Amino acid sequence: MRQRFQTSAPLPSDFSDILHAWHVALVAARASDDADLYASAVALARESLDGYTTVQDFIGVYCTPDDALKARVLALCGEGEGHHLEPGIVMGSACTLQFRQPMEKAIA
């Protein structure tokens, strides 16, 4: 079943669930037979997340991405092409990897 983007902002109590979903998405992407395709799609999706720095920013864009980001992710997932990657896995993985950068800087 194809995962869909959420359409409403998360509640504060949902933060841990969303962070867990991102981790699960990253694990799924890395374990997939299409891991190389996921890696490429995630790298390109991350470019759209460069301006985000807080967990609230990433959760907001994950749960309610703008139309341009939705279209980009869907295109990266191969809508109408031979390979069909899961948009939720691409976005969750991209958010996980992109959010790690400010977290690692804050810890250092």
pLDDT in tens, 60-101: 899 889 999 999 999 999 865 566 899 999 999 999 999 887
Give the model's pLDDT for residue 35: 95
Is there a domain that residue 2 lies in?
Answer: no
Structural domain range at position 28? 12-107
Instruction: Report the distance separating Cα 49 and Cα 102, nearest Å.
Output: 12
| Cβ–Cβ under 8 Å, residues 84 and 78 | yes
pLDDT attached to residue 54: 83
Could you tell me if residue 61 is inside a domain?
yes
In a domain, 1, yes or no: no
Average pLDDT of the chain is: 84
The token duo for 101 is 């950068």
Model pTM above 0.85: no
Q: Domains in the chain: how many in total?
A: 1
pLDDT higher than 90, residue 105: no
Structure tokens at 37: 């395709």
Sequence-separated (6 or more) residues with CB below 8 Å from residue 6: 62, 63, 64
Q: Is the pLDDT of residue 107 over 80?
A: yes
pLDDT of residue 89: 95
How far, in Å, CA of 104 to CA of 18, rounded? 19
